[in-house]
Amino acid sequence: MVVGGLLDKTVTDTADKVPLLGDIPVIGALFRSDSKKVSKRNLMLFIRPTIIRDRDEYRQASSGQYTAFNNAQTKQRGKESSEASLSNDLLHIYPQQETQAFRQVSAAIDAFNLGGRP
């Protein structure tokens, strides 16, 4: 799926002049130049849905996407991966950290995957 139509228009006015001479009335225009730059950008967002059927698939997909995103950011910043990356352990929710809401959502997902209702 592609979401488009997000437009950005930037107008930049620039005035360059020779100091003092560009400020003189009438003949100052000979020592001054004005320019206007208009730039337009169209943002397109590409969405690819993925069906995740169980917790292991979720963890694998989440970890893979996080790693790819982190590597891209690290490469863009020019730093080594070991300095700028966070541990993948931050992506996982350990049993002692599970809240009641998390358990309810997890049970609903498991019931849905088994063809039942939550």
pLDDT over threshold 60, residue 82: no
Mapping DSSP to helix (H, G, I), strand (E, B) and coil, where does residue 37 land?
Answer: strand
Residue ranges of the domains in the chain?
2-45, 53-113
C-beta of residue 17 within 8 angstroms of C-beta of residue 32: yes
Across the range 1-9, mean pLDDT stands at 81
- What's the pLDDT at 94? 55
- What's the pLDDT at 16? 93
C-beta of residue 61 within 8 angstroms of C-beta of residue 50: yes
In tens, the pLDDT along 9-41 reads 999 999 899 998 988 988 988 999 999 999 998
Exposure string for 93-112, b = 16+ CB within 10 A, e = fewer: eeeeeeeeeeeeeeeebeee
- What's the pLDDT at 11? 94
The model's pTM: 0.34
Give strand pairing partners of 35: 14
Q: Which residue has the higher pLDDT, 29 or 91?
A: 29
- What's the pLDDT at 81? 44
* Residue 84 CA from chain centroid, whole number: 17
